[in-house]
Amino acid sequence: MSSKLRVLIVGGVACGPKTAARLKRLMPEAEITMIERGGVVSYGACGLPYYVEGTFSNINALTHTPAGVSRTPEFFRTWKGFQTLTRTEALSIDRRNKQVHVRHLDSGEEKRLDYDKLVLATGGKAFRPPIPGLDLKHVWFMTHPDDAASLVQTIDQQGLKKAVLVGAGFIGVEMAEALINKGLEVTMVEMMDQIMPGIIDEDIARLSQIHLDDNDVELVLGERVTALEGDDRVQRVVTDRQTLDADLVVIGVGTQPNDRLAREAGLDCDRGITINQYGQTSDPDIYAGGDCVSNHFINRLVGERLFVPLGSTANKHGRVIANHIAGRPTPFSGIGCSSIVRAFEFTIGRTGLTEGMARDMHLDIAVTTWSGQDKPHYMEGSRLFVIKMIADRRDRKVLGVQVAGMGDGAKRLDAAAAAIYFGATLDQLADVDFCYAPPYSPPIDPLAVCAHVLINKLDGLAAGIGPLQAKDQMDTSECLLLDVRIEDEAKMEWIPHSRMVHIPLDQLRTRFDELPRDLPILTYCKVSMRGYEAQRILNAQGFDNVKFIEGGVGAWPFETAMPGL
């Protein structure tokens, strides 16, 4: 038996190669073997939609280093110094003898590999909904470069036109853009009443849905797909309400942890393999990381463990595991539930808790929505976007941030992710010295402005009402909608309601008598800064049932009215 530490890694996509490469640098003497069931190792699965839409034309880009070297077993041997066995499946773990029973998928040869430390990086697998027809031709799950390659090849060769996407999560939204950009007709069917359910709240989803609709994505929400039909090839997608024609179907209804090996070996699992902050499973000689494990939330605010498969987390796990094996322990702080997706010109994303999650946890929260430009209005490329912010009412800590829109929400999400990691209060977030220059941001960063609005709300100054709540109030009770924009703006596009008044803010101080004192008033403007000022002015005049619609027209997630429509 060798005196060198033998490390066996099962899975060669993200966490596996990261663990192996890091460990080899920390312990050049370790004998590291990585086994992978597929023929390809270390590929960028997140890049598949961008291959489909033609952002890059060679699928090999996903399996090559930036310098253009293919990440083959030979590459890992000569460049990184560890052994890789492809087309090799792990059948079972013999924890007593510290062996993994493996089989070569082509030769059928079986053997037992010894380990001192075992790393399970078995990844996730696409959830297969329990419906008939999944095995028809032209039905794809987007998990492997081969899937994307065969999808593109089939579309190009057979001239497929009508795509139906089942599921409106990340894969659905990314593939909708990809296939529209490729010239197909796209229908996206989602069982829940909104896109990206569980990832973003309804208001942010509704805004994004308007944008998808503007980009010709046919959205079918609140319908469950019950069957895929066709002879040989898929031809129809049947829901509980209708039947949709389809030349191809892409299924993206979630990922499951590939934790069979761990479960069969008796390791603790919950929503995936349970690991501690060093990546150890309930067997201290067995580690796990990547899409096969569950994670805790950064500040343990969320009690339950979460299953959030992400390439970024998988890479962090790899480093944490390698460090611990090498005797240089560095704890993993947990996930912050940060995620982002591009949907045409929109950036949609979130970090921390959603309003829905926070309410489910019975937290006492305050919420606001802001809209505005990401740069000074006079700068080229200044774009509108929306920020939604959720804070704890008691300690004023920021719990979550969501963005949607054309503007640079990605920057604000990452800054918010850092702030939430450190338990920032709203005041602290607003006080961070963000970089200011006109090509990058307004003098007060939108993230700080949004925090200010929420502070004002908590302080009882800003009586904001969220767009969903405003719509509900307008639909179900008597209220007056007061537009305080200038004439030119008000003529172009407005929020429709049966009782509307238009008084530009500069005339408000002299036209109080036009407003009823016995009716709730909802004020608004383009982004609701002036709406807020109107509320303050009316309050000072004794109008005490006044709210401004947060985010104004910019964040209004329902249809607006325009002249002639």
When binding is defined by CB under 8 A, the residue of 266, 329, 439, 496 that contacts a copy of itself is 439
Determine phi and psi for 73, rounding to 5 degrees: -55, -35
Cα within 13 Å of Cα(514), Cβ side = 13
Tell me the CA distances in angstroms from 57 to 186, 225, 261, one per residue in order: 22, 32, 36
Query: Which stretches does DSSP call E strand in 134-216?
Result: 139-141, 162-166, 185-190
Burial class from Cβ neighbours inside 10 Å (0-12, 13-18, 19+) for residue 54 reads exposed
Give the binding range for a copy of itself (CB under 8 A) out of 129-137, 266-274, 491-499, 528-536: 528-536
172, 165 contact by CB (below 8 A): yes
450 among known catalytic residues: no
Restricted to residues 501-520, the positions that interact with a copy of itself (CB under 8 A) are 505-507, 509
Can residue 317 be called a binding residue for a copy of itself (CB under 8 A)?
A: no
Can residue 414 be called a binding residue for a copy of itself (CB under 8 A)?
A: yes
Q: Choose between 261 and 503: whose C-beta lies nearer to a copy of itself.
A: 503
User: Minimal distance in Å, beta carbon 516 to a copy of itself?
Assistant: 21
Q: Choose between 281 and 351: whose C-beta lies nearer to a copy of itself.
A: 351
For helices 15-26 and 311-325, angle between their N-to-C axes, nearest 10 degrees: 30
Can residue 491 be called a binding residue for a copy of itself (CB under 8 A)?
A: no
Can residue 56 be called a binding residue for a copy of itself (CB under 8 A)?
A: yes
Q: Choose between 62 and 237: whose C-beta lies nearer to a copy of itself.
A: 62
2, 29 contact by CB (below 8 A): no
Can residue 404 be called a binding residue for a copy of itself (CB under 8 A)?
A: no
User: Minimal distance in Å, beta carbon 498 to a copy of itself?
Assistant: 26
User: Minimal distance in Å, beta carbon 486 to a copy of itself?
Assistant: 6
Give the binding range for a copy of itself (CB under 8 A) out of 1-9, 105-113, 184-192, 405-413: 405-413
Distance CA 316, CA 401 (A): 22
When binding is defined by CB under 8 A, the residue of 97, 150, 242, 312 that contacts a copy of itself is 312
When binding is defined by CB under 8 A, the residue of 114, 536, 545, 558 that contacts a copy of itself is 536
38, 87 contact by CB (below 8 A): yes
Can residue 319 be called a binding residue for a copy of itself (CB under 8 A)?
A: yes
Can residue 445 be called a binding residue for a copy of itself (CB under 8 A)?
A: yes
User: Minimal distance in Å, beta carbon 428 to a copy of itself?
Assistant: 7
Restricted to residues 121-140, the positions that interact with a copy of itself (CB under 8 A) are none
- Smallest CA-to-CA distance from 515 within 496, 553, 542 is with 542
Number of residues that bind a copy of itself (CB under 8 A): 106
Restricted to residues 376-395, the positions that interact with a copy of itself (CB under 8 A) are 376-380
Beta-carbon contacts of 517 under 8 Å, excluding residues fewer than 6 positions away, are: 542, 543
Can residue 298 be called a binding residue for a copy of itself (CB under 8 A)?
A: yes
Q: Report, in this order, helix, strand and coil percent for the chain, each rounded to 5.
A: 30, 25, 45
Q: Choose between 453 and 470: whose C-beta lies nearer to a copy of itself.
A: 453
- Candidate list 15, 46, 292, 435, residue with the active-site label: 46
When binding is defined by CB under 8 A, the residue of 166, 415, 451, 481 that contacts a copy of itself is 415
When binding is defined by CB under 8 A, the residue of 70, 97, 153, 330 that contacts a copy of itself is 330
Determine phi and psi for 474, rounding to 5 degrees: -65, -35
Distance CA 237, CA 98 (A): 48
- Smallest CA-to-CA distance from 415 within 380, 457, 384, 450 is with 450
SS3 state at 269: strand
Can residue 475 be called a binding residue for a copy of itself (CB under 8 A)?
A: no
SS3 state at 523: strand
| Residues identified as active-site | 46
